[in-house]
Amino acid sequence: MYKSIVVAVALFNKGATSRALIKQANKLIDADGSITLVHVMDEIPAYLTAAISREQLMSHRKDIREQIESLASTAKAKNVDIDIRGGRPSENILACAGECHADLIMIASHKPGMSDYFIGSTAARVVRHSPVSVLVAR
């Protein structure tokens, strides 16, 4: 059993993959443990930020938070936290795990495409650089 689990949340496929990860985390967490759902938003290139209003950006962030709060309601840990970040996913997932003193990171993976063989997927980068156990689900 684990005291602190970080679940990397992606919102594609209506959150089905993330829901499956949270369901697994519920089985692995200690009774007094904590689950942190971390979502890393892609950074918007500077040339696009000028074309997007602040209201649109805030609305998008609010929608993401609502979706993650819905996912968080399915987590059965004593403490459930939400962490939304921007930037490089692998770096931010690892940073979140360090800040939460996680003893397990859970992340979904997809079938690798050609670009993954050259630059590596997020899950592969997390596995390579994590000082704690990583559960990769497909």
Q: Where are the domains of the chain?
A: 2-110+127-137
Mean of the pLDDT values across residues 7-36?
93
Higher pLDDT, 51 or 105: 105
Mean of the pLDDT values across residues 80-107?
96
pLDDT of residue 121: 87
Query: Is residue 23 pLDDT above 70, yes or no?
Result: yes
Residue 111 to residue 16: CA distance in whole angstroms: 16
pTM of the model: 0.89
Mean of the pLDDT values across residues 115-133?
81
Give CATH superfamily name and number for 2-110+127-137: HUPs (3.40.50.620)
Higher pLDDT, 46 or 25: 25
Query: Is residue 73 pLDDT above 90, yes or no?
Result: yes
Radius of gyration of the chain (CA): 15
